[in-house]
């Protein structure tokens, strides 16, 4: 019987957060600290003729100014195609030209206005299809597209296939080919981007208070950018006001802040304004997906063939690697005998996309789930039935080599179909002003980390002190998702130490052991397993000492209420530790453990069991569409997710609801509107996120499959809730209106336009279909 796991526990440092005592990057003030500000380009595509900083420098209170000419640095980014400060050319409206450090933020902002830049404006390229044309000039001078992919503006390319496509096409009774367009949306963390940097010129050490999600990769990246030794850089994470993937890449403002601190000899802080946050922080990948899928006369899927053009923007971030995740959904969400996947990220003069919760999967899932409904329609089969007969099952090894040792796909689907009254709603005639519809969407995502870096591991150090307090030093990070609470719960469960006596230390790279970082829904899984490994070691230590002290022979101790117990023998934990410490041979009660998940690297064809386990989920979403205003209202969301095992119910529910809110925004309201590379809605007023009144009722049904790879059988859960949401909503709107939408968001205007068209078009609703250009 579990005492702690599976029961709701409040957030470990929730009191600090809810009382305003938690220290975020915005709250840090160091002695003599300066404030930094960045000059960004006026035009998204131009040549820089000259930069004159003299007026700005003479402004009282300005301490230093840097431009590309003042610094000796390396390019940054996943493809090292991104200069921190630009010279020669600017390629997108985020581009950093100069940075100022001044005594106050106002002075720094004023100084920025005084920097004179002369530009030669160029016609930019804002459409990736245009960028692929022979006649289009090269956009990123560091891009290796010509050598690597046969097209100068290709930033990254992925190809995957399994099965015999032609054979499966021949078997198909129905083939559906559709083109989907996905918008640019952004994380919109409520805390804007921030960093504080301090340089010690005695020993050449740099301290960064940074909101990164991946401190150890970040340390290495900053070191490379600044040509420093990584170990001279100490990364301290203050409390982070939202991540969602936005802090996976290191962004130019971070090394810029470090450079200002190095040059001025004083600490420097950069805080983004909300407008700057919209303009200059990452986005989800916009893309055009052309998906062809088939099924036989019984509705069994035969093949999927997909061609994706992603708008990479001007530089390449981790976001370019989202096809790793997308191809898993195309190859392995449902049983698919044959699959061919091609994805090309193309440079444009748009801002570059980064990584965002779901990592390409919401886009892929939207296309897959829409095509499934279309195939069912064509066959005259129920949308529920076609999913059930193709769903994944336990024991399956997919064409890509993903091994589903446990699988809750069918139970999840069945649950949401039943709970949402799917059949009844679908059978209800739908006329009048308000039309109701329900739609289904399922998803597959990694649940046990993802081996994409050389190690997907996490280290843990444990210490029990003379008073029976436990310190967990974990490599993993907390970005609000609640992982540190889960770690404390595991320790409470295993060691019987109460919550008040547990400390989690996880914010300082000088102290904590290595970990990849927060991504791929991995933290509870990887850090949890690492902690369990460490606990096993510390129990061995405690057991050895207790045996000696009590003169019994056992390794079957019960740990509860700060005691170790075996039959009639018992001893206080702190007493054991003190004896260990103060009596010969004088030892500390400390251990180190490193956990590396059993997942494998994929081979060069992207085949292999890449994650420790896999999460499955289905959603049935009920909407009501107002045919007069075009508004879509989400009424009910039924979510069923294979989480392996519920660790902290209240934390899990929070992840569900938060993910869904972002997913609903993606489906219905959120879109960054660009005109020729310039963002037209950089504010919360123009960029419509959900508010409290838009949130529907959420009905969550966890499926527990007890996967042996995860801590207590659990699987990663954080990203999944938003992955199938847009897909299910689009299907619901289509079922309500009989009109299908192939692009997001499904705004009121789009609905009205679709309803106004005399014969609602079945495809290519919002844009002329363009052929997907193939590269050589």
Partner 1 sequence: MILTFKINGEWVTQEIKPSLLLIDLIRDVLQLKGTKPGCLEGECGACSVIVNGDAINSCMYLAINVDGKEVTTIEGLENNENPLHQVQEKMLEHGAVQCGFCSPGMVMTTKAYSDKCIAEGITPTREEVKKSLEGNLCRCTGYAKIIDAAEAVYK
Binding site for ligand FES (CB under 6 A): 190, 242, 480
Answer whether 479's CB lies under 8 Å from 518's CB. Answer: yes
Q: Which does 187 bind (CB under 5 to 8 A by kind): partner 1, ligand FES, none?
A: partner 1
Which residue of this chain has its Cβ atom nearest to ligand FES in the complex? 190
Cα–Cα dist 765/775, whole Å: 26
Answer whether 595's CB lies under 8 Å from 529's CB. Answer: yes
Q: Quick check: 683 binds partner 1 (CB under 8 A)?
A: yes
450: left (phi over 0), alpha (psi -120 to 50) or beta: beta
Burial of 689 (0-12, 13-18, 19+ CB in 10 A): middle
Q: Which does 653 bind (CB under 5 to 8 A by kind): ligand FES, partner 1, none?
A: partner 1
3-state SS class at 313: strand
Per the listing, tokens 């392995």 go with 332
Residue number with CB closer to partner 1 (112 or 577): 112
Nearest to 439 by CA among 668, 751, 746, 731: 731
Q: Which does 662 bind (CB under 5 to 8 A by kind): partner 1, ligand FES, none?
A: partner 1
Smallest distance from the beta carbon of 326 to ligand FES, in angstroms? 27
Q: Which residues contact 564 (CB under 8 A, 6 or more apart)?
A: 542, 543, 546, 557, 558, 570, 571, 572, 573, 576
Cα–Cα dist 262/206, whole Å: 8
- Fill in the DSSP letter of residue 752: H
Q: Which does 471 bind (CB under 5 to 8 A by kind): partner 1, ligand FES, none?
A: none
Q: Which residues contact 523 (CB under 8 A, 6 or more apart)?
A: 476, 477, 481, 483, 716, 718
425 backbone dihedrals φ, ψ, rounded to 5°: -65, -40
- Fill in the DSSP letter of residue 400: T
Q: Quick check: 685 binds partner 1 (CB under 8 A)?
A: yes
- Fill in the DSSP letter of residue 744: S
Smallest distance from the beta carbon of 691 to partner 1, in angstroms? 5
- Fill in the DSSP letter of residue 232: G
Smallest distance from the beta carbon of 274 to ligand FES, in angstroms? 7
DSSP letters for 162-216: ES-HHHHHHH-SEEEEEEEEE---B---SSPPEEEEEEETTTTEEEEEE--S-HH
Q: Which does 309 bind (CB under 5 to 8 A by kind): partner 1, ligand FES, none?
A: none
Residue number with CB closer to partner 1 (136 or 653): 653
Smallest distance from the beta carbon of 368 to partner 1, in angstroms? 24
Nearest to 463 by CA among 567, 592, 580, 559: 592
Per-residue mark of binding to partner 1, 109-128 (x: CB under 8 A): --------------------
Q: Quick check: 31 binds partner 1 (CB under 8 A)?
A: no
Residue number with CB closer to partner 1 (188 or 527): 188
The one segment of 11-19, 54-62, 394-402, 750-758 that binds partner 1 by CB under 8 A: 11-19
Q: Which does 170 bind (CB under 5 to 8 A by kind): ligand FES, partner 1, none?
A: none
Q: Quick check: 441 binds partner 1 (CB under 8 A)?
A: no
Smallest distance from the beta carbon of 441 to ligand FES, in angstroms? 25
Among 64, 191, 261, 730, binds partner 1 (CB under 8 A): 191
Residue number with CB closer to partner 1 (46 or 664): 664
Per the listing, tokens 């410490």 go with 581
The one segment of 8-16, 337-345, 374-382, 467-475 that binds partner 1 by CB under 8 A: 8-16
Smallest distance from the beta carbon of 105 to ligand FES, in angstroms? 15
Cα–Cα dist 582/564, whole Å: 19
Q: Which does 24 bind (CB under 5 to 8 A by kind): ligand FES, partner 1, none?
A: partner 1
Among 33, 291, 660, 727, binds partner 1 (CB under 8 A): 660
In the range 260-289, which residues lie near partner 1 by CB under 8 A? 273-274
Residue number with CB closer to partner 1 (242 or 562): 242
Containing 535, the helix (H) or strand (E) segment is helix 523-550
Q: 466 is written with which tokens? A: 């003379």
Q: 423 is written with which tokens? A: 């059949």
Helix 361-379 / helix 323-332 crossing angle, nearest 10 deg: 20
Smallest distance from the beta carbon of 658 to ligand FES, in angstroms? 8
Q: Quick check: 695 binds partner 1 (CB under 8 A)?
A: yes
Answer whether 576's CB lies under 8 Å from 407's CB. Answer: no
Q: Quick check: 569 binds partner 1 (CB under 8 A)?
A: no
Q: Quick check: 236 binds partner 1 (CB under 8 A)?
A: no
Among 68, 590, 698, 772, binds partner 1 (CB under 8 A): 698
Q: Quick check: 462 binds partner 1 (CB under 8 A)?
A: no
Q: Quick check: 455 binds partner 1 (CB under 8 A)?
A: no
User: Around Cβ 285, how many Cβ atoms within 10 Å?
Assistant: 29
Q: Are strands 62-67 and 96-102 parallel, antiparallel or unpaired?
A: antiparallel
Smallest distance from the beta carbon of 35 to ligand FES, in angstroms? 18
List of residues contacting partner 1 (CB under 8 A) = 8, 10-11, 14-24, 26-27, 187-192, 239-244, 273-274, 479-482, 650-651, 653-654, 656-662, 683-685, 689-693, 695, 698
């Amino acid at each position: 019987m579990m005492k702690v796991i599976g029961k709701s526990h409040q957030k470990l440092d929730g009191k600090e957060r809810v009382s305003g005592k938690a220290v975020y990057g915005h709250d840090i003030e160091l002695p003599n600290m300066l404030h930094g500000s960045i000059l960004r380009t006026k035009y998204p595509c131009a040549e820089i003729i000259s930069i004159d900083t003299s007026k700005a420098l003479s402004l009282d209170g300005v301490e230093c100014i840097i431009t590309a000419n003042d610094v000796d640095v390396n390019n940054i980014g996943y493809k090292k195609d991104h200069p921190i400060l630009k010279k020669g050319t600017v390629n997108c409206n985020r581009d950093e030209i100069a940075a100022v450090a001044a005594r106050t933020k106002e002075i720094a902002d004023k100084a920025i206005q005084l920097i004179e830049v002369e530009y030669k404006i160029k016609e930019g390229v804002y459409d990736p299809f245009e960028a692929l044309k022979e006649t289009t000039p090269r956009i990123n001078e560091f891009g290796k597209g010509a050598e690597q992919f046969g097209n100068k503006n290709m930033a990254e390319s992925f190809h995957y296939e399994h099965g015999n496509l032609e054979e499966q096409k021949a078997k198909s009774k129905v083939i559906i080919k559709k083109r989907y367009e996905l918008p640019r949306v952004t994380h919109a963390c409520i805390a804007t981007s921030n960093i504080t940097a301090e340089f010690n010129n005695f020993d050449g050490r740099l301290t960064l208070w940074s909101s990164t999600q991946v401190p150890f990769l970040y340390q290495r990246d900053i070191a490379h950018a600044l040509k420093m030794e990584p170990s001279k850089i100490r990364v301290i994470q203050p409390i982070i006001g939202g991540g969602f993937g936005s802090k996976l890449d290191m962004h130019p403002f971070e090394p810029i802040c470090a450079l200002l601190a190095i040059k001025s000899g004083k600490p420097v802080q950069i805080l983004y304004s909300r407008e700057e946050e919209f303009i200059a922080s990452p986005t989800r990948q916009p893309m055009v997906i052309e998906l062809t899928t088939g099924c036989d006369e019984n509705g069994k899927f035969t093949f999927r063939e997909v061609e994706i053009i992603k708008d990479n923007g001007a530089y390449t971030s981790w976001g370019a690697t989202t096809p790793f995740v997308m191809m898993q959904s195309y190859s392995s969400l449902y049983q698919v005998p044959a699959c061919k996947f091609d994805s090309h990220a193309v440079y444009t003069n748009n801002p570059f996309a980064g990584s965002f919760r779901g990592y390409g999967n919401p886009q892929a899932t939207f296309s897959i789930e829409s095509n499934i409904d279309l195939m069912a329609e064509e066959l005259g089969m129920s949308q529920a039935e076609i999913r059930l007969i193709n769903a994944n099952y336990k024991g399956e090894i997919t064409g890509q080599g993903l091994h589903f040792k446990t699988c809750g796909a069918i139970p999840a689907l069945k649950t949401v179909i039943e709970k949402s009254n799917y059949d009844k709603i679908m059978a209800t005639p739908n006329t009048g002003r308000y039309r109701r519809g329900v739609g289904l969407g399922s998803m597959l995502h990694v649940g046990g980390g993802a081996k994409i870096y050389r190690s997907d591991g996490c280290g843990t150090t444990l210490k029990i002190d003379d008073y029976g307090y436990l310190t967990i030093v974990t490599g993993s990070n907390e970005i609000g998702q609640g992982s540190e609470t889960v770690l404390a719960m595991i320790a409470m469960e295993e060691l019987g130490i109460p919550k008040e006596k547990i400390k989690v230390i996880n914010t300082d790279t000088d102290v904590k052991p290595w970990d990849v970082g927060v991504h791929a829904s991995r933290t509870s899984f990887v850090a949890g397993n690492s902690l369990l490994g460490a606990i096993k070691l510390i129990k061995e230590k405690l057991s050895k000492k207790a045996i000696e002290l009590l003169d019994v022979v056992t390794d079957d101790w019960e740990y509860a209420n700060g005691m170790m117990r075996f039959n009639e023998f018992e001893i206080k934990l702190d007493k054991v530790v003190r004896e260990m410490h103060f009596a010969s041979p004088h030892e500390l009660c400390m251990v180190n453990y490193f956990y590396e998940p059993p997942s494998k690297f994929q081979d060069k064809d992207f085949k292999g069991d890449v994650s420790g386990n896999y999460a499955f989920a289905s959603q049935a979403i009920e909407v009501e569409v107002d045919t007069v205003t075009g508004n879509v209202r989400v009424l009910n969301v039924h979510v069923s997710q294979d989480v392996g095992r519920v660790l902290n119910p209240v934390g899990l529910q929070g992840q569900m609801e938060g993910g869904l809110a972002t997913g609903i925004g993606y489906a219905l309201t959120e879109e960054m509107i660009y005109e020729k590379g310039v963002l037209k809605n950089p504010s919360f007023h123009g960029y419509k996120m959900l508010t409290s009144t838009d949130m529907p009722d959420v009905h969550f049904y966890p499926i527990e499959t007890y996967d042996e790879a995860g801590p207590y059988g659990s699987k990663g859960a954080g990203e999944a809730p938003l992955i199938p949401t847009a897909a299910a909503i689009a299907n619901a709107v289509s079922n309500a209106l009989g009109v299908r939408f192939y692009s997001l968001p499904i705004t009121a205007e789009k609905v009205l336009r679709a309803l106004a068209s005399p014969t609602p078009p079945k495809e290519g609703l919002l844009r002329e279909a363009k052929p997907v250009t193939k590269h050589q």
